[in-house]
Structure 1
Amino acid sequence: MPSVIDNRAEQQFTLEVSGETAVAAYQREGDVIVFTHTVVPPAIEGHGVGSKLIRGALDAARDQGLRVVPQCPFVAAYIQRHPEYADLLA
């Protein structure tokens, strides 16, 4: 499966699967990253694409020493289901 890409110019993490692109939009505020919304195209929903996207985004945030604010309900739910990411919460 393809890897998650941090498109800093557009402030979004992307994951391309089968010609479709899932997006996790964010805003950087110093050492805090605020995830604002996540979009997974209907054609690739239900295959774990959103979870892979958010896992990659959260791993990147950890690697950069960022604190996370999950405004997006999908990101908040992912962190709740995966407590190993709870330490990232701002």
Structure 2
Amino acid sequence: MLDPEIHDNVELKRYQLPVDGEVAIVTYNLSPPNLMITETLVPQRLEGQGIASRLAKHVLADARARDLLILPVCPFFSAYIKKHPEYADVVHPTYRGILGL
């Protein structure tokens, strides 16, 4: 399910979630059918609130809805997907092997 507060800023190639006057982001490179996730950044004072996981869930749901395959270059994203193998179908087959899915 998509999170209505998260916006895909296509021009800047990032998903954005405004929280308390700051913005958490997931940066990407899109080359259909591949969506390479390059970085997840949460402002330091917002860490530990599940914001990165919230972004990851949204990005994975969006990729699934758009028939895109995730290339999780970002270490957080790789770790998140390993903990949530239910998203394996959205991950590029090469990365499925790397992550042991």
Aligned length: 90
Aligned: 1:60 with 2:50: no
**Contact 1:23/1:38, CA 8 A, preserved across alignment:** yes
Q: Which runs of 5+ in 1 are unaligned?
A: none
Cα RMSD after superposing both structures: 1.3
- 2:48 matched residue in structure 1: 46
- 2:24 matched residue in structure 1: 22
Deviation of residue 86 (structure 1)? 1.1
- 2:99 matched residue in structure 1: none
- 2:6 matched residue in structure 1: 4
TM-score scaled by length of structure 1? 0.94
Q: Deviations over 1:24-83 (max 9, x none)?
A: 000001210000011000011000001001111111111111001000000011111111
Q: Which runs of 5+ in 2 are unaligned?
A: 93-101
Deviation of residue 6 (structure 1)? 0.8
Deviation of residue 9 (structure 1)? 1.1
Q: Which runs of 4+ in 1 moved over 4 A?
A: none
SS in 1 for 2:79: helix
Relative distance call for 1:2 and 1:64 in structure 2 (3 A) is closer
Larger radius of gyration: 2
TM-score scaled by length of structure 2? 0.84
Deviation of residue 2 (structure 1)? 6.3
Relative distance call for 1:16 and 1:2 in structure 2 (3 A) is farther
Relative distance call for 1:28 and 1:19 in structure 2 (3 A) is same
Relative distance call for 1:2 and 1:31 in structure 2 (3 A) is closer
Identity %: 39
- Looking at structure 1, the residues matched to 7 and 40 of structure 2 have their Cα atoms a distance apart, in angstroms, of 14
- Looking at structure 2, the residues matched to 58 and 3 of structure 1 have their Cα atoms a distance apart, in angstroms, of 15
